[in-house]
Chain A
Amino acid sequence: MKLPADFLRQDLHATRRSFLNTAASGLGGLALGSLLSQEGLLAAPAAGTDPLLPRQPHFPAKAKNCIFIFMAGAPSHLDLFDPKPKLNELHGQSLPESMTKNVRFAFIKKETAKLLGTKRVFKKYGQCGMDFSDLLPHLATRADDLLMVRSLHSDQFNHHPGQLLMQCGRGSFGLPTMGSWLTYGLGSESRNLPGYVVLNSGRGSSGGTTLWQSGFLPSTYAGVLFREQGDPVLNLANPAGLPPELQRAGLDTLRQVNQARYDLMRDPEIASRIASYELAYRMQMAAPELIDLSGESKATLEAYGVNRADPPNGGRGKQGETAQSFSRNCLLARRMVERGVRFVNIIYASWDHHSNLDKELTYNATVVDQPIAALIKDLKERGLHDETMVVWGSEFGRTPLGENRGGNENATGRDHHPFSFTMLMSGGGLKGGQVYGQTDEIGWGIEDKPVHINDLHATMLRCFGLDHLRLTHRFQGRDFRLTDVGGKVVEDWLA
Chain B
Amino acid sequence: MNAFRRYHFLFLLLWLVTGSGWVFAAPDGVSFSRDIQPLLAQKCLECHGPDKQKGGLRLDVREEATKALESGEHAISPHQPDASELLRRVLSDDPDLKMPPKGDRLTSADAGTLRAWIQEGAPYSQHWAYAPLSRAPIPVVKDSAWGHNPIDRFVLARLEQEGIVPSPEADRPILIKRLYYDLIGLPPTPDQVAAFVADTAPDAYEKVIDELLRSRHFGERWGRHWLDMARYADSDGYEKDRPRPDAWHYRDWVIEAVNADMPFDQFTREQLAGDLLPGAAPGQRLATAFHRQTLTNTEGGTDQEQFRNEAVFDRVETTGAVWLGLTVGCARCHSHKYDAITQREYYQLFDFYNNGDETTYRLPPAPEALAAYEKAKTVHEEKAAALKRKMEAATLEAEAAQSAWENLQRQAEPQSTAAWHDLRLVSATASVSGVTLTPEKDGSLLAGGENPEGPVDYVLEFEAEVPKPLTGLRIEAITDPRLPGGGPGRMEGGNFVLSELSATLAGKPVAVASATADFSQKGWDVGTAFDGDLKTGWGISPQRGKSHHADFRFTNPVPAISPTRISVTLRQHYGQQHTLGRLRVQGITGDPSVLPPPAEMLVILALPPEARNPGQQKQLREYFQKKVHPPTVALADQLDQLAKAAPKPPGEEVRVLVQRTAEPRLTRILDRGDFLTPKEEVHPGGLSTLAPVKFRQDGRADRLDLANWLMDERNPLTPRVLVNQIWAHLFGEGMVRTINDFGVRGDPPTHPELLDWLAAEYRRQGWSRKALLRLILQSATYRQSSRHRPELDETDPTNRFLARQNRLRVQAEIVRDIGLSLSGLLSDKVGGPSVFPPMPAEVAALSYAGNFKWDNSTGADRYRRGLYTFFKRTSPHPNLMTFDCPDSNTTTISRQTSNTPLQALTLLNNETFAEASQALAVRALGWEVGDDASRITLLLRHCVAREPATAETSLFLDLLRRSKAYYDGHAEEASALTARHRAPNRPVSESAAWTAVARIALNLDEVITRD
Contact = CB atoms under 8 A, between A and B. Distances in A.
Nearest to A209: B875
Nearest to B966: A246
B83 interface: no
Contacts of B952: 257, 260
Interface stretch (B469-477, B755-763, B956-964): B956-964
A241 interface: yes
B301 A204 contact: no
Contacts of A106: 300-302
Given A236-B909, A242-B996, A209 B966 contact: no
A218 B897 contact: yes
Given A105-B301, A207-B874, A246-B962, A235 B975 contact: no
A245 B239 contact: no
Interface in B861-887: 873-876, 878, 881-884, 887
A314 B453 contact: yes
Contacts of B724: none
B299 A159 contact: yes
Contacts of B269: none
B237 interface: yes
B338 A236 contact: no
A85 interface: no
Nearest to B979: A240
Interface string A295-321: 000000000000000001111101100
Contact of A234 (B303, B849, B878, B896): B878
A261 B305 CA distance: 56
Given A220-B898, A260-B949, A267 B788 contact: yes
Interface string A228-260: 111001111111111101110111011011101
B1003 A210 contact: no
Contacts of B847: 204, 208
A239 B738 contact: no
A266 B790 contact: yes
A250 B1003 CA distance: 10
Interface in B713-754: 738, 740-741, 743, 745-746
A208 B241 contact: yes
Interface string A255-285: 0111011001111011011101101100110
Interface centre among B338, B910, B1000 (most CB of A within 10 A): B1000
Interface stretch (B22-30, B220-228, B496-504, B837-845): B837-845
Contact of B903 (A157, A246, A276): A276
Contact of A208 (B740, B788, B875): B875
B299 A160 contact: yes
B786 interface: yes
B927 interface: no
Interface in A139-166: 157-161
A389 interface: no
Interface residues of B, number: 106
Given A234-B878, A243-B973, A416-B301, A218 B898 contact: yes
Interface string A185-225: 00000000010000010011111111001001111101011
Given A234-B843, A235-B909, A219 B900 contact: yes
A16 interface: no
Contacts of A359: 453
A392 interface: no
Interface centre among A104, A105, A276, A363 (most CB of B within 10 A): A276
Interface in B290-335: 295, 297, 299-303, 321, 326-327, 329-330
A257 B840 contact: no
Interface centre among A194, A266, A274, A415 (most CB of B within 10 A): A266
Contacts of B992: 241
A173 B908 CA distance: 31
B599 interface: no
B930 interface: no
Interface of B: 237-239, 241, 295, 297, 299-303, 321, 326-327, 329-330, 338-339, 452-454, 492, 575-576, 738, 740-741, 743, 745-746, 786-790, 807, 809, 840, 842-843, 845-851, 873-876, 878, 881-884, 887, 889-890, 893, 896-906, 908-910, 914, 917, 949, 951-952, 955-956, 958-959, 962-963, 966, 970, 972-979, 992, 996-997, 999-1000, 1003-1006, 1009, 1011
Interface of A: 49, 51, 104-107, 157-161, 172-174, 194, 200, 203-210, 213, 216-220, 222, 224-225, 227-230, 233-243, 245-247, 249-251, 253-254, 256-258, 260-261, 264-267, 269-270, 272-274, 276-277, 279-280, 283-284, 312-316, 318-319, 349-350, 355-356, 359, 363, 415-416, 474-478
27 contacts: A106-B301, A200-B846, A208-B875, A209-B846, A209-B876, A210-B874, A219-B882, A220-B898, A229-B840, A236-B905, A242-B973, A246-B966, A249-B962, A253-B1000, A260-B951, A261-B1005, A265-B786, A267-B788, A269-B807, A269-B899, A269-B1005, A269-B1009, A313-B576, A314-B575, A474-B745, A477-B326, A477-B745
Given A104-B303, A218-B897, 6 more contacts: A159-B299, A160-B239, A245-B966, A280-B902, A313-B454, A477-B743
